[in-house]
Structure formats: structure tokens, C-alpha cells
Amino acid sequence: MKTDIQKEFSFILKQKNNKARRGEITTSRGKIQTPAFMPVGTAATVKALKNQDILASGAEIILGNVYHLMLRPGADLIEKMGGLHSFMNWQKPILTDSGGFQVMSLSKIRKINDEGVCFSSHIDGSKHLLTPEKSIAIQHQLDSDITMIFDECVAYPATYEQAKKAVERSNAWAIRCKQAFIPRSGYALFGIVQGSTYQDLRQRSAKALIDIGFDGYAVGGLAVGEGQQAMFSVLDYACDLLPENAPRYLMGVGKPADIVGAVARGIDMFDCVIPTRSGRTGQAFTSNGVVNIRNSKYRGSTRSLDENCNCDACTNHSVGYLQHLVKANEILGSMLLSQHNIFYYQKLMQDIRQSIENGTFGEFASQFFDSAQI
């Protein structure tokens, strides 16, 4: 059931520490403290986690995806079952990615033109056409609290002409997305800045989006192989191109160090599959660095995975037991490590927010990087 449905979508910038920002987003389904990390629930589930585990971690918003949900189980079915919140029994906010990145990275065959993208499903090869209007319509069927525009995301490396063409097409699609979006109290539509690693193209993209007018702005087309330093170089100027009074979302990022570095450059929102994907492969992020639980040194260890974490894996189980589960390919091992990683990420965001409030984010970031946490 929706709560506070009459509340308008809003973003309040509460405090700044150099470029790092402490804010609060209000949606019809609740508030989101920023900087925020959104666990990725691509196919209406955050892999290996129950909703109560996600809530217990402190997460206030999760992410779903148009591409995956339109293919399976289908937007019509989800709408018939009351929308994505009812379908997966998650009553806090949901942001949905428009599918632009997935048709580039996952589809077996795709043909793109100014109308949209015709692609073959990576699941069964069936053919589909995704246009700006259809992407927005699907997100409306899903009842997404934050809808993302449909854009063209180019792979890295991209030539200047390839990136320029994608920016021009994405700008045209942004207008169509804005026209197709149905404004509702507490709901939002975000634009996506493209341009690869070319500063003038990023500037052109951002200006066009601001002229159209969106509730928030994402930086897309990064974390696609360019490396951390190249990504940071883009963020050094990209955040300054965006309005101060709107949330800024870095799509698909990332490792803990990527997040800390991006917050330092002015980013407010993040999402990434890394916490749960790493959990399923036996990797844990801890306050003492990254742990590969398969390492033989953890065999028989009775210590906690992370003394600074209050997740189930850390409070109720030993490292030795977790290693046994992972090496035996027991499903519980994936569940516990994925849960731990989501808890770690949410604790990281809490610490970041607190340091910005205290005016000590610079010291926090320096200590973080000095400790070699990745």
C-alpha cells in the first residue's frame, strides 16, 4: 500500500563538504537519505536476499530493470498483479533502469535507428522493439517511483563520432520520454547524460537535458571499461554541469572506492550488482578490506567475518563456517555473503553521510583510501 501519496517528489540539499553532498529525496513511498546506494533487483529480486534482509541493511530504495522485466515475466503481468511493489512485496521506492544499457550489452542482435532499438532477446532470441515511448510506458506499468529516460549507451572505447551520434539521438529521445511520461505526485523522471569521455559532448548532453527539464540527472556511459581514473576525470567536470537542486545519479557504480571517489566529486546516488555478484562468488567486502572466503587461511577459523557488521553472517556464523558453505557450493553461503555485502555497502553510505554532516568527509575519504579498501 502506498503511503504519503500526496507528497511531491523533491530533493533537499542539506549540507556540502567541498563537493560531497548530503541530501534527502522525498517520493510518494518514502524518503531516501543521500548519498544512497540502491541494491539491484534486476528481475524483481535482489539476488539471494529476502526483502526483510534488504530492509534490515538500511536500504531505502532498490532498482529494477525494464529490459529484463519486459522479457520475463512481462510488464502486462506485473501490472495485472498490482505493479512491481506488490509483485515483489517491496513497499519502499523503486527506480527502474530504462533498458538502454542492456540492449547494448546483453541483446544478441540489435539494430538501432532514430525510432528505437530492435533487438533479439538474450533468453530465447525473440525479437522486440524498444522505443522511448515504450520504455516509459513499461515503467508506468511497473509503477516505478523514479523512471529513467531511454538513451543510447555506447560501449568503451567509442570514437568521437560514435559518441556524438549517441548524444544527439539520446537528446531527441529525451524529449520523447518527457512527452510520454505521465506526471504524478511523488513520482519522478530522470535524464541521463551521455558523451563517453568527451567533455564537450558531456556538456552538450547536460545542457540539452536541463533545457528539457527533469527531476534528477544521471551520469551514464561510465563503468563500461574505461577504468577508475578515466571515470573520475569525467566526474571532475560532469557533476558541475548539473543543477545543484536535483539529485545526481551515477549509473552502475561500483566498488567501494569508486563510490567514495564519486561522492567526493558530487554524486548522490549509486547502484551496482557487485555486492551480490561478489557474494555469490565467495568475495566479501569488510572494514578490513576484501576477503576471498575460499582462501585456505580461513579454514577452521572461529572469528567473525567483520566485527563492525551486524548482519547474520557476521553475528551468527564464523568465517570457517562461511568458507565451508562456499566451498561446498551450498546456497546458504551465497545468501549470507550477499547479505553481508549489502550490509557493508549500506554501512559505508551511512558513514559517508555522517562524515559529510560532521564536515569531515575529506578525512574519511583519505583514511578509506589509505586503508586500501576497494
Assign 3-state DSSP to the chain and report helix, strand, coil percentages, each to 5.
45, 20, 40
CA distances from 229 to 69, 222, 223, 258, 261 (A): 33, 11, 11, 10, 10
CA distances from 330 to 1, 45, 280, 333, 368 (A): 36, 20, 10, 6, 33
Strand-pairing partners, residue 283, are: 292
User: What is the rounded CA–CA span in Å between residue 116 and residue 172?
Assistant: 11
DSSP class per residue in 224-281: SSS-HHHHHHHHHHHGGGS-TTS-EEETT--SHHHHHHHHTTT--EEEESHHHHHHHT
| Contact assessment for residue 270 and residue 254, using Cβ atoms and an 8 Å cutoff | yes
The active-site residue out of 97, 143, 145, 268 is 97
| Contact assessment for residue 338 and residue 275, using Cβ atoms and an 8 Å cutoff | yes
271 is catalytic: yes
Task: State the maximum Cα–Cα separation within the chain, in Å, rounded to a whole number.
Answer: 60
Catalytic residues: 97, 271
